[in-house]
C-alpha cells in the first residue's frame, strides 16, 4: 500500500515507508548524490535511464532539472512500481518499466523488504543489510556536535530500524538486458545512466553491450564491494569513459561507493 507524503520542496509523492522517502529526498534533492562532483551538462532533450528507480525520486529530480528529457525508469517490485507509476503519472516524458535490468534476459526471484524497500535485491542478506544501515546511523550520529543529540538520534534511529528486515517476500520478476530494451524503446543513446540496484550493478553494466556503450555520456552507479567497484571501473574505462569514485561521509568504513563515469568530449 502506498502513502501520500509532502516533501520539503512542496512536492507530493506516494511512498512505501515514510522514513525511506525522507532519506531518498535528502540523498537526491538535497545532497545531489547522483550528480558528479564536477557537475554535469546534458544536451537538449536528453535521454535519461533510471535503473533501480524505487518510487521514482531520482526520476522526479531529473524531470525537474531537465524538463525536456525523455526518462525511462526501471523498477521490478510490483508494490514499489505502483508508487513509481503514481508519482510519474502526470509526467508525459517519463516511461515507467516494471522490469529488472541485468546481463541475461531471464526470470528470477528478488528478495523484497516491505518495510525497507530500497534495500531489496537479488542477493539481499538481512543481517548484512541491517548492519549497513546501522553503520550509516553511527556515521550520521558522529557528525552531530552534541553528545546528548547523538545518543537520542541513535536511539530513535534504532527504534525505527527495529523489525524492518524481519518480513521478507520473494517476488518473481523479469530481467531484461539494457541494450535490447533500449532498442525496443526506440532509443539510440543514453545521456545519463543512473544505476542503484543493491549489489546487481555489474550485471546491469554487463547488459549494455558493445554497440550501446559508445553512446552513453554520463553514468552514476552505486556500487557495493571493492571487487565490484574494480570490475565496474574496468568496464567503464575499457569502453572509453573516465571515472571518479566518491564515498559519502555517512558510508565511511563501509563498502558502498558511488562511481561516476563520463565520456570525454
Domain spans of the chain?
Answer: 3-121+170-262, 125-167
Residue-wise DSSP of 34-73: TS-TT-----SS-EEEEES-TTTHHHHHHHHHSTT-EEEE
CA distance 211 to 189: 10
Contact 264, 242 (CB under 8 A): yes
Output the pLDDT for position 27.
93
Q: Which CATH number fits domain 3-121+170-262: 3.90.1150.10, 3.40.50.150, 1.10.1240.10, 3.30.200.20?
A: 3.40.50.150
> Residue 128: how many CB atoms within 10 A of its CB?
14
Output the pLDDT for position 160.
67
pLDDT band at 163 (very low <50, low <70, confident <90, very high): confident
In this prediction, residues 241-249 reach a mean pLDDT of: 93
Looking at 121-135, 185-199, 216-230, which range is the least confident one? 121-135
Amino acid at each position: 500500500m502506498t502513502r501520500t507524503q509532502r516533501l520539503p520542496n512542496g512536492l507530493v509523492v506516494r511512498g512505501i515507508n515514510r522514513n525511506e522517502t525522507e532519506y531518498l529526498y535528502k540523498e537526491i534533492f538535497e545532497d545531489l548524490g547522483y550528480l558528479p562532483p564536477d557537475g554535469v551538462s546534458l544536451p537538449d532533450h536528453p535521454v535519461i535511464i533510471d535503473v533501480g528507480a524505487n518510487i521514482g525520486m531520482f526520476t522526479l529530480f531529473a524531470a525537474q532539472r531537465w524538463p525536456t528529457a525523455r526518462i525511462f525508469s526501471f523498477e521490478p517490485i510490483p508494490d514499489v512500481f505502483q508508487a513509481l507509476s503514481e508519482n510519474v503519472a502526470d509526467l508525459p516524458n517519463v516511461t515507467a518499466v516494471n522490469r529488472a535490468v541485468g546481463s541475461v534476459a531471464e526470470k528470477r526471484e528478488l528478495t523484497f523488504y516491505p518495510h525497507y524497500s530500497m534495500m531489496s535485491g537479488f542477493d539481499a542478506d538481512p543481517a548484512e543489510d541491517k548492519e549497513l544501515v546501522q553503520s550509516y546511523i553511527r556515521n550520521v550520529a558522529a557528525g552531530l556536535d552534541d553528545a546528548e543529540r547523538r545518543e537520542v538520534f541513535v536511539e530513535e534511529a534504532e527504534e525505527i530500524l527495529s523489525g524492518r528486515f524481519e518480513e521478507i517476500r520473494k517476488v518473481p520478476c523479469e530481467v531484461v538486458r539494457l541494450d535490447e530494451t533500449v532498442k525496443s524503446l526506440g532509443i539510440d543513446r543514453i545521456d545519463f545512466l543512473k544505476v542503484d540496484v543493491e549489489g546487481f550493478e555489474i550485471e546491469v553494466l554487463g547488459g549494455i553491450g558493445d554497440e550501446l556503450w559508445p553512446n552513453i555520456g554520463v553514468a552514476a552507479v552505486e556500487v557495493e564491494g571493492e571487487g565490484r567497484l574494480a570490475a565496474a571501473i574496468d568496464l567503464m574505462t575499457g569502453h572509453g569513459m573516465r571515472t571518479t569514485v566518491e564515498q559519502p561521509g555517512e558510508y565511511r568504513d563501509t563498502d558502498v561507493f558511488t562511481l561516476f563515469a563520463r565520456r570525454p568530449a
